[in-house]
Chain A
Amino acid sequence: MLDYTVYYRRRLDLDALRETSRDWGLFISAYNDSERVQRPFEAVQSATKHWLIHREYQFSAHEVPTCDAYTPAEGNEADFWRSYVDLAGVDLASQELCIDATGFMRPHLAFLLVLLKQAGVGRVHFLYTDPERYVKAENTQFTKGPVTEVRQIAGFEGIHSTDTSNDLLIIGAGYDHQLIRRIAEFKEYSRKLQLFGLPSLQPSMYQESVISASRAAESLGSSAQDDVLFAPASDPFVTAQVLHERVERERGRRRVTNLYLSALGTKPQVLGFALYFVTECLESSTSLLFPYAERYTQETSKGISRIWHYTLELDGARSSEQT
Chain B
Amino acid sequence: MRNNPFNVTKAVDFSDEQIARTWVDFASDNGGFFAIADPTSPMPRILLGGKGSGRTHLMRYYSARLQRLRGATSSPKTEGYIGIYLRCSGLNAGRFGGKGIEPEAWQALFVYYMDLWLAQLAISTVVETFGEMPELIAQEDAIARLVAHAFDDFGGELPSTLLGLETRLHGWQRELDLVINNAAITRRLDAIQIRAARGRLPLAVPKAFAACVPDLSEIIWLYLLDELENLTDEQQRYVQTLIREKEPPASFMVGSRLYGFRTTRTLSADEENKEGSEFEPLRLDRFYLTHESEFAEFCRRVIAQRLIEEGAVPGQRDAVAEQLDGFFVTDGERDTSFVTEEGAERKYFAVLARQLETHQGLSESEAAKVIALLEVPSKPLLEKLNTLLLYQRWNTRTSMHSEAGRISKLCAAWRDGKATGHYGQKVKHHEPDMYAQLLRQYSRQRRYLGLETFITMAGGLPRNLLIILKNVYRWAEFNGEQPFHGVPISIAAQRDGVQEASSWFLKDNLPLGVEGENVERAVSRLGALLRALHFADRPPEIRMTTFSVDPSRLSLAARESLRDAERASMLLTEDRGHRDKNDASVTVKYRLNPMLCPYFDLPLTVGGTLKLSTGEANAVFGEKAPEEFDRIRRARVRRANVPFRAHRAGEQIDLLSDVG
Picked from B10, B13, B65, B177, the residue with its CB within 8 Å of the CB of A160 is: B177
* A147 proximity list for chain B (CB < 8 A): 512-513
Which of B155-163, B180-188, B373-381, B556-564 participates in binding chain A? B180-188
- B468 vs chain A, min Cβ distance (A): 12
CB atoms of A186 and B95 under 8 A apart: no
| B185 and A78 within 8 A (CB) | yes
On whether the beta carbons of B174 and A159 are closer than 8 Å, the reply is yes
The answer on a CB contact under 8 Å between A164 and B90 is yes
User: Per-position contact with A for B531-549: 1 when CB-CB < 8 Å, else 0?
Assistant: 0000000000000000000
Are A159 and B184 within 8 A (Cβ)?
no
Q: Is there a chain B Cβ closer than 8 Å to A221's Cβ? A: yes
Q: Are A222 and B95 in contact (CB under 8 A)?
A: no
Residues on B with beta carbons closer than 8 Å to the beta carbon of A138: none
CB distance from B346 to the nearest CB of A (A): 41
CB distance from B595 to the nearest CB of A (A): 13
Q: Is the CB of A162 within 8 A of B185?
A: no
Distance in Å: Cβ of B233 to nearest Cβ of chain A:
14
Which candidate, B116-124, B217-225, B313-321, B636-644, is the interface stretch facing chain A?
B116-124
Q: What chain A residues lie within 8 Å of B504 (beta carbons)?
A: 218
Task: Judge whether B658 is part of the interface by a CB distance below 8 angstroms.
Answer: no
Q: Which residues of A contact B98 (CB under 8 A)?
A: 75-76
Q: Which of chain B's residues have a CB closer than 8 A to the CB of A202?
A: none
Q: Is the CB of B10 within 8 A of A159?
A: no
Q: Which residues of A contact B9 (CB under 8 A)?
A: 218, 221-222
Report how far A158 CA is from B90 CA in the complex, Å. 11
What is the total of A-B residue contacts with beta carbons within 8 Å?
106
Q: A152, B99: Cβ atoms under 8 Å?
A: no
Which residues of A sit under 8 angstroms from B95, Cβ to Cβ? 151-152, 157
Q: Does A182 contact B (CB under 8 A)?
A: yes
Cα A191 to Cα B512 with chains together (Å): 22
A146 touches B (CB below 8 Å): yes
Chain A interface extent, by class: 35 or more
CB pair B13 A159 closer than 8 Å: no
Whether A221 and B12, one on each chain, are in contact in the complex, defined by CB atoms closer than 8 angstroms, is yes
CB pair A223–B13 under 8 Å, yes or no, is yes
A223 to chain B: closest CB distance in Å? 6
CA distance A152 to B180 in the complex (A): 11
One of A189, A218, A287 near B92 (C-beta < 8 A): A287
When distances are taken between beta carbons in the complex, the residues of chain B under 8 Å from A163 are: 124
Q: Given the known A-B contacts A148-B512, A187-B89, A283-B178, are A221 and B94 also in contact in the complex, defined by CB atoms under 8 Å? A: no
- Shortest Cβ gap from B293 to chain A (Å): 28
A322 at the interface (CB under 8 A from B): no
Binary CB contact string for chain B from 8 to 34 against chain A (1 if under 8 A, 0 otherwise): 111011001000000000000000000
Tell me the smallest distance from the CB of A226 to a CB of chain B, in Å: 10
In the complex, are the beta carbons of B12 and A188 less than 8 A apart? Answer: yes
- Tell me the bound Cα distance from A165 to B516 in angstroms: 31
In the assembled complex, 10 residue pairs joining A and B whose CB atoms fall closer than 8 Å, in A order, are: A76-B99, A76-B184, A147-B513, A149-B512, A155-B181, A157-B180, A164-B90, A218-B504, A221-B10, A283-B178
Interface residues of A (CB under 8 A from B): 75-76, 78-79, 111, 114-115, 118, 146-152, 154-160, 162-165, 167, 181-182, 186-191, 218-219, 221-223, 225, 258, 283, 287
Q: Which residues of chain B have a CB within 8 Å of any CB of chain A?
A: 7-10, 12-13, 16, 56, 65, 86-87, 89-90, 92, 94-95, 98-100, 117, 120-121, 124, 173-174, 177-178, 180-181, 184-185, 227, 230, 467, 504, 508, 510, 512-514, 516-517
